Each structure stands twice: as C-alpha cells, then as structure tokens.
C-alpha cells in the first residue's frame, strides 16, 4: 500500500478529516487508499501556535511523529489552476482549509476523502514522494482494521 509522509500538524489535520485537499508541487497517478505518515520533522510547530491550526491542534508536542497515523482515499489530483473561485470544490472549503494549503499556480491539489485516524500508530521512517508500506506494518494495520 502507498504511503505519503506529511509534516505535522498537516498529517493530523488530514487524518482528522479537517484537511480534505493536500497541495503539492508534484502529481501522482495513484488513486485509492493512501496511508498517512507523520514525519519526524517539527518545522510545522510555528504554524501550530497560530489560527486556524490552534483551533484543532491543542498541543503540537503531543502529536505523533515518525509513524503511520491513518489513511485517506485519494480520489483525484488536479492542477490548482483548475480550482477557480467558481469551482464547487474550492467554494465548499472553509476558510480554515484554504489556509492549510498552498494554492499558488503550478501546484497540484490532491483531493482526499474517507479520512481515518488509527487508534494505534505504527512507527517507521518516512520517505519523499509516495512510498510502499513495509509488509510487517501492513500486517499490523490489517489486524487493527479487522478488529474494528
């Protein structure tokens, strides 16, 4: 299964279902389930103290780091230029969510649905771009899902 590493607090916002569009400088042909990995980097801490992040993230230092924390379904990837102000996808976003992404020209909007935060987190190293979940972690994730 494919995994996407994100910095915190964005990783938690995605699996909480608050951030439904992730903006990136690159695209992918992958569609379907995507595991979300919270990277070890703490560069996002300066944002976590500001609105609108602070509304959803109570204590940045208590967020999970270096672990797969949940999953989403990647339904489509579109160029940010396609998300014009008359586009229902962009108009349906809250001002908060618009603040969580970089919608500048030349970027890609990854449209996400069906967010799930796992009850347990699975520690592992992340990687750039999409990467494959290690089999031993995938086994644990499937066991956890079968118990739900």
Asked if pLDDT for residue 84 goes beyond 70, the answer is no
The model's pTM is 0.86
E strands in the chain: 2-6, 21-24, 32-38, 67-79, 108-123, 130-132
State the average pLDDT over residues 35-48: 82
Check residue 111 and give its pLDDT.
93
Domain regions of the chain by residue span: 2-147
Model confidence over 52-82: pLDDT tens digits? 667 777 788 899 999 999 999 999 999 988 8
**Alpha-helix runs per DSSP H in 29-134:** 45-48, 53-56, 88-91, 95-99
CATH assignment, 2-147: 2.30.130.30
């Amino acid at each position: 299964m494919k995994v996407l590493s994100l910095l915190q607090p964005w990783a938690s916002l995605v699996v909480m279902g608050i951030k439904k569009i992730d903006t990136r400088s690159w695209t992918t042909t992958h569609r379907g389930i995507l595991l979300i990995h919270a990277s070890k980097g703490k560069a996002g801490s300066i944002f976590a103290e500001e609105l609108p992040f602070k509304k959803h993230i109570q204590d940045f230092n208590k967020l999970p780091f270096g672990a797969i924390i949940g999953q989403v379904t990647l339904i489509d990837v579109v160029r940010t230029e396609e998300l014009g102000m008359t586009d229902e996808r962009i108009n349906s976003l809250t001002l908060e969510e618009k603040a969580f992404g970089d919608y500048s020209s030349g970027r890609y909007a990854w449209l996400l649905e069906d967010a799930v935060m796992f009850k347990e987190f699975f520690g592992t190293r992340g990687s750039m771009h999409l990467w494959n979940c290690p089999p031993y972690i995938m086994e644990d994730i499937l066991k956890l899902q079968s118990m739900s």
